[in-house]
A and B are shown apart, each in its own frame.
Chain A
Amino acid sequence: MSQSSAAPLAPAVELPAIPLLQIGTWVVFYGLLAMLAIFFVSADQGAISLPAGNAVHEWVHDARHLLGYPCH
């Protein structure tokens, strides 16, 4: 990735790209966090129950239906 040469030579055409390896770390860690967050809204206490009961399911119930996730 030769981002250093992009700006002086052709600033309007060549966009600097972020190295994929650098983004990959963020994709792994943030990706896991985002999937966990989406899991609690989309599927928890439906098909799989992490804390037993129905409090999470009941609280986000309407969002689960309107976001199109299978609810019950």
Chain B
Amino acid sequence: MITHNPGRKPALTPAAFLIRGLVAGLLAGLIGFAVAFAFGEPHIDDAIGLEEAAAAHLTHEEMQAEEAEADKPGMVEISRDNQKSWGLLTGMAVVGTALGGLAALASASVIGRLGRVSARGSTLLVGGIGFVSVALVPFLKYPATPPAVGSPDTIGHRTSDYFALLLVSVLAAIAAVVVARRLSGRFDGVNAALMAAGGYVVVVVVAGLLLPSVDELGTFPADTLWYFRRASLLTLASIWATIAVALTLLVGKLYDDATADAERRALAASL
């Protein structure tokens, strides 16, 4: 019984995976913060500069409306210095840690169920699927936008459309893994994986065509937009790459220890 061994350290339990996922995720959040701060913040500053230049041309009534909004209870002003340092760090650490834990539970679910793929290989695969389904696919339909882009009137449906596509993408990715596993009985493992991946692409492309597009750029400069989006994608990629690599190392070690432990006890039992 590998899952119940009181007194023994390397037990293969969901909790052992989760704690490793939280550690890998926190590390990913810190690295995501460093990448976002170095490559993303300069373009956020540019975008806010444009926003403020536009605000200089507001009419008297528009300015009064903004001031009335800012005077409502619960409204605070946070300095740019705090937003781009501690605020950015908070957001990256929270999301990185949350995603790391989810990736670890996904890894715990697939290890031992993907034919001859090892614990390390399975965990790396979960990281790759996580990046594509959670970050890349939603980004391709609804790319990140810098401040000054986007109308406050449409934030409701832009948010629900984004999360609808995210949900479809994640569910389709989970379904693709289940389908690949079924097909691997009839086909070669690689072919089964390619067929399931093709199915995933069809589902998210159809979802992307059905969901409404966003067209709110106005006259925002194309180069600043591209630099911002490139930095955003780099940030997401660095978070998922860190989760994948760190979790693979930690889970690999966990399996090595558990296997050595099981072999030792099997040997002891045979004597």
Total count of chain A residues near the partner, CB < 8 A = 53
Q: What would 6 A/B residue contacts be, using CB atoms closer than 8 Å?
A: A7-B2, A34-B102, A53-B76, A58-B87, A60-B91, A72-B147
- A71 CB, nearest partner CB in chain B, Å: 7
- Bound Cα distance from A60 to B109, whole angstroms: 32
Q: Is B98 in the interface zone, CB < 8 Å from A? A: yes
Q: Is B53 in the interface zone, CB < 8 Å from A? A: no
Identify B147's interface contact among A14, A68, A71, CB under 8 A.
A71
Which residues on the A side are within 8 Å of B3 (C-beta)? Answer: 3, 16, 18-19, 22
- Bound Cα distance from A64 to B162, whole angstroms: 13
CB atoms of A65 and B263 under 8 A apart: no
Label chain B's interface by main secondary structure: helix
CB atoms of A15 and B147 under 8 A apart: no
Q: Which residues from chain A sit less than 8 Å from chain B, CB to CB?
A: 3-4, 6-8, 11, 13-20, 22-23, 25-27, 30-31, 33-35, 37-38, 40-43, 46-48, 51-55, 58-72
CB atoms of B74 and A52 under 8 A apart: yes
Total count of chain B residues near the partner, CB < 8 A = 78
CB atoms of B162 and A67 under 8 A apart: no
Which residues on the A side are within 8 Å of B113 (C-beta)? Answer: 17
Label chain A's interface by main secondary structure: helix
- Bound Cα distance from A71 to B99, whole angstroms: 20
Q: Is B186 in the interface zone, CB < 8 Å from A? A: no
Which residues on the B side are within 8 Å of A19 (C-beta)? Answer: 3
Identify B143's interface contact among A7, A25, A68, CB under 8 A.
A68
Q: Is B191 in the interface zone, CB < 8 Å from A? A: no
CB atoms of B12 and A16 under 8 A apart: yes
Considering the complex, give the chain A residue whose CB is closest to the CB of B147: A65
Q: Is B142 in the interface zone, CB < 8 Å from A? A: yes
Q: Which of B55-63, B199-207, B254-262 contacts A (4 or more CB under 8 A)?
A: B254-262
Considering the complex, give the chain A residue whose CB is closest to the CB of B76: A55
- Bound Cα distance from A26 to B17, whole angstroms: 10
Which residues on the B side are within 8 Å of A63 (C-beta)? Answer: 36, 87-88, 90-92, 95
- Bound Cα distance from A31 to B18, whole angstroms: 11
Considering the complex, give the chain B residue whose CB is closest to the CB of A34: B98
Identify B105's interface contact among A14, A23, A70, CB under 8 A.
A23
